[in-house]
Each structure stands twice: as C-alpha cells, then as structure tokens.
Amino acid sequence: MRGLPPSQHILPRGDQVLDASTPPRIHVLAKPTGAVCNLACEYCFFLDKELFYPDSSFRMSDEVLETYIRQLIETHRTPQVTVAWQGGEPTLMGVDFYRRAIELQKKHGRPGMTFENTMQTNGTLLDDEWGEFFKENDFLIGISIDGPAELHDAYRVDKKGRPTFERVMKGLRLLQKYEVEHNILVTVNRKNANHPLDVYRFLRDEAGASWMQFIPVVERINEDGLRLYQEGTSVSERSVTPEQFGRFLIQVFDEWIRNDVGKIFVQTFEASLRNWMGLPSSGMCVFEETCGLGLALEHNGDLYSCDHFVEPRYLLGNIQETQIGELVASEKQRKFGRDKRDSLPRACRECDVLFACHGECPKNRFLATADGEPGLNYLCAGWKAFFHHVDQPMKIMAMLMRQGRPAWEVMRVLGGEEEAALEAAFAKAGRNDPCPCGSGLKFKHCHGKRGSEGTQRAEAKTSTALENTRNG
Ligand code: SF4
Ligand code: SF4
C-alpha cells in the first residue's frame, strides 16, 4: 500500500487534479449495507455502529455508488484498482447492486485499467446466482469461518442465537463449485485460540483452503457496555489473550513450516517474510511503519480513516461533498497515518522485532509499558513471542529467496535439522532412559536397539545434516 516512486506515477485522465500529496493507490472498504448483517456474531464490533445512523435505511443509493466508483478511479494513478466490498453483510444488497457496480467500473474506467472486486462475506446467503456472478466477474471472496463446527459456532450465530456452521460451509462449497477464487478469514478468539491445530488442519484438510488469514479478536468494551469507540482498557471475555494469540500463531506456524510452505498461504506468515526480506511493503497495514491508506466508506458516502475507526472523531467527510482524493490527502488523514509511527512508546522503538511488528495496529495500543508509558499494544507479548519464534526459519526463507530458490526448500533444511537433533539425542541417551523419539518406551527397547553400529551411523549423519544447515 505504500506509494510508488514519483517516476512511476501514472497521470490521471480524470478531471480531478492530483498532486504529490495524493497517494497513487488507496484501499477503500465500502460498506453498502453499513453495519447491517443477517447474523449476530457475538464479537462483531461493527454491529453497534448502526447507532451512528439512527434513521438510516442502510442501503447505498445509486447516486452514492456512482460517485464512489468514479472518484475511486480518478484517485488512482495505477492501472489496477481494487474495489473492496464489506459490511455488515454486503450480499444483503442483492446481486443487481454489484452488476451495476461492474457497469459503472466499465463506464468510468480509463483505457487499460483493470478492476479487482473483492468481497468479505459470511457466506450464508450465497446461491447459484451469486456463484455465477462472482465467477463471471472474477471476484475474490473472503469467507469467515472460525474452525470446525464446535469452534465456529461458539460465537458465530444468527439473530436467534442458532449455529451457522452448516450454512457457511454450504456457501464455501458453492464458491468451490463455481471455482471462485476465495480465502478464509478466521477470527482468533478466546475459544478457538486454544485449538490452533484443529482450526488449521480443518481449514486445510476439510475446508480445502489454500489461502487463510488469522485476525485477533480484541474487543474493547466502553464504559456504557457498548463497543462504539476505541476507548478504555477493558476487553470482552471473547477477546483472545496476548499469550493465547502468540501460542496460536506459533503452533500453526510450526505445522505450516514443516509441511505446507508454498502450498498454503497464511497472510501473517507471508507479510512477516516480506519484512524479514526487507521488501518495501509487508502487504498488511498493521505491520507497516505508517498507515492511513485503507479507509472505510459508509453506505451514505461518509469516509472514515479506517474500518476500525468508524466513529465521529475519525470522519473525514462525505464523498458527495469532497473528493476522495482530497480527503485521503488531508492533513487529518496524513496525521492519522503518521501517528502509527510517531506515537510508538520507547519499548517499541527499542524492540528487536520492531522491523516486523511496527507496534501492530494503533487500535490495540491501550496498555502501558513497564515504565508507565502509554501506547503499548495489548497483543505485544503474543507478537513478540511469535516473531522471536519464527526468526530462524524466516532468515532461512529470506536467504533462499535472495538466492533465487523457492521458499519451500526451508522444509528440507529444517527437516534435516530436526532429524539431526534427534540423532544427537539418540547418541547421548542411556539404555534405560526414555527414548528421545517420544514413544514412551525405554531407549533400549526402541531406537537404542540399533546398537553401536547404528549409533556411529547416526553421529555421522548428524554432523552432515548440521553442516548442510549451516551452509544453507
Ligand atoms: S489503524 Fe490499524 S487497521 Fe487501520 S489502517 Fe492503521 S494499522 Fe491498519
Ligand atoms: S513486539 Fe511489542 S514492543 Fe515490539 S514492536 Fe511489537 S508491540 Fe512494540
């Protein structure tokens, strides 16, 4: 999301005058139904936001839609434009609303421009008409699933409190039937965080997912019990704890790094690798030094600083009165983006994983550091544990990629390393010790049966494997 160098800017053909202060590409999450949803997931912070628009119909009008598409195009100086739909539940608008959006993209698009439409949905309202439409128009669909039925249904329920797992899986199968490109969004909460491998293996082996993202649930509860503002230090009992979140990521990472690199794409791992490689952008705003290029558009044209800050203080203006480009380039929004870096406490500025974490998202920075400075991220302990844990494999993958080799070769390197460590433990084990392989048997009845010849062979293998690892 960071800007291109000035030499690569593509001048707009639209009537809007863009200057160097306008970023060449922005990301807007449009909410055509506002906060309205057909489900009532217990941890959804957005449901309370209906209160900001008391008399609204919560449907984006054709006028706002056309203004939005036209301005979004005019704001872009890149030939690719992402049009992102979210909610609430965006499918409540019906397919025709999105047919019209495609029509408007064709009407206002400049020659050579391409559009990628994305949608985040709970999947429960999808049918064949949606499947055909998505396929025909190349939509990328994000579908929310929190793991196998018992974990998914812990919080993802409908307005009558009924489970939704079966309905969501039907939606997922429909996307797969029409070969619609999709990824799975998992919210990591207090319940499913204790079952990382059940969640990951379910997604990989049963849901057939090859692209997934894990979003921590950090639900701040305001003094009045609502979740309208990013205020206060209380979190709900549904929120993941920092330690749980760290453990969750670490266990999923360990499974992934042994078996799935290059096959399964986990957004946090990909973004981390980009930071370990020193690339200009991680691809995730939370891991960037500054932010402010991912905005949220309400159904009535109100534009906010970010999807997580849809509240009056962060309202930039209405796109029917002021151009999107102008609102994005406003000092208010630029300060919002810079504050991500400028408000970091010393603990973060001196942290050894700052290059990967960058203090994560400002919405989660409501703790005080050990020396009492405000602004430490609630998830700090989890992020730190995770980034420390992945340091060595990330370095190996970064090195492989710099050498022009595929990152998945890391599985071979680490496989050899693990085997080497085990063989070294065999070499040291006494006959009556428990076998290091973890079988629960005595060493002499398990791997110790191999005798001295086996041990010598193992020692030789150990040093070769270690050598290979060092040479990488
Ligand atoms: S506030 Fe958080 S979610 Fe919003 S753009 Fe910044 S880093 Fe991203
Ligand atoms: S790990 Fe913690 S201290 Fe380090 S940058 Fe992230 S939030 Fe700050």
Q: How far apart are CA 414 and CA 392, in angstroms?
A: 10
Q: How far apart are the first and last CA of the chain?
A: 32
> What per-residue confidence (pLDDT) applies to 18?
38
Nearest to 175 by CA among 259, 91, 284: 91
Q: Compute and round to an integer the Cα radius of gyration of the chain.
A: 25
Q: Ligand 2, closest atom to CA 379?
A: 7
* Tokens 């002499």, located at residue: 444
Q: Ligand 1, closest atom to CA 293?
A: 5
Q: Which of 19-28, 374-383, 458-467 has the highest mean pLDDT?
A: 374-383
Position 270 confidence tier, pLDDT thresholds 50, 70, 90: very high
Active site residue 352: no
Q: How far apart are CA 445 and CA 329, in angstroms?
A: 71
State the greatest distance between any 2 C-alpha atoms of the chain, in Å, as a whole number.
Answer: 83
Residue nearest to atom 4 of ligand 1 (CA): 306
Of all helices (H) and strands (E), which one includes residue 273? helix 267-276
Q: What's this model's pTM, rounded to 2 decimal places?
A: 0.84
Q: pLDDT tens, 414-450?
A: 988 878 888 888 999 999 999 988 888 999 999 888 6
Torsion of CA 351, 357, 361, 364, to 10 degrees: -50
Contact 157, 167 (CB under 8 A): no
Question: Which residue type, as a one-letter code, is found at position 8?
Answer: Q
Q: Give one DSSP letter per residue of 381-446, joined into a string.
A: HHHHHHHHHHHHHHHHHHHHHHTT--TTHHHHHHHHHHHHHHHHHHHH--TTSBPTTSSSSBGGGT
Q: How far apart are CA 293 and CA 39, in angstroms?
A: 29
Q: How far apart are CA 384 and CA 368, in angstroms?
A: 16
Q: Ligand 2, closest atom to CA 353?
A: 4
Q: How many CB atoms lie within 10 A of CB 190?
A: 19
pLDDT top residue among 311 and 42: 311
Q: How many CB atoms lie within 10 A of CB 40?
A: 16
Position 472 confidence tier, pLDDT thresholds 50, 70, 90: very low
Q: How far apart are CA 403 and CA 268, in angstroms?
A: 23
Q: pLDDT tens, 196-237?
A: 999 999 999 999 999 999 999 999 988 777 767 777 788 999
Bridge partners, 295 (sequence order): 28
> What per-residue confidence (pLDDT) applies to 292?
93
Six-digit token pair at 207? Answer: 């849901």
What is the whole-number distance in angstroms between the Cα of residue 354 and the centre of ligand 2? 6
Query: What distance lies between CA 335 and its chain's CA centroid?
Result: 24
Q: Give one DSSP letter per residue of 318-366, joined into a string.
A: ETTTS-HHHHHTSHHHHHHHHHHHHT--HHHHT-TTHHHHTT--GGG--
Task: Say which ligand is closest to the CA of 347.
Answer: 2
Residue nearest to atom 2 of ligand 2 (CA): 380
What is the whole-number distance in angstroms between the Cα of residue 307 and the centre of ligand 1? 8
Chain-wide mean pLDDT for the chain?
88
Ligand 1 pocket, mutate which of 343, 358, 361, 364 (most atoms under 8 A from CB): 361
What is the whole-number distance in angstroms between the Cα of residue 341 and the centre of ligand 2? 12
* Tokens 């942290």, located at residue: 351
**Residues enclosing ligand 2, CB less than 6 A?**
347-348, 351, 353-354, 357, 359-360, 377, 380, 383-384
> What per-residue confidence (pLDDT) applies to 22?
61
Residue nearest to atom 2 of ligand 1 (CA): 361
What is the whole-number distance in angstroms between the Cα of residue 380 and the centre of ligand 2? 5
Six-digit token pair at 267? Answer: 């957004």
Q: Ligand 2, closest atom to CA 380?
A: 2
What is the whole-number distance in angstroms between the Cα of residue 366 and the centre of ligand 2? 13
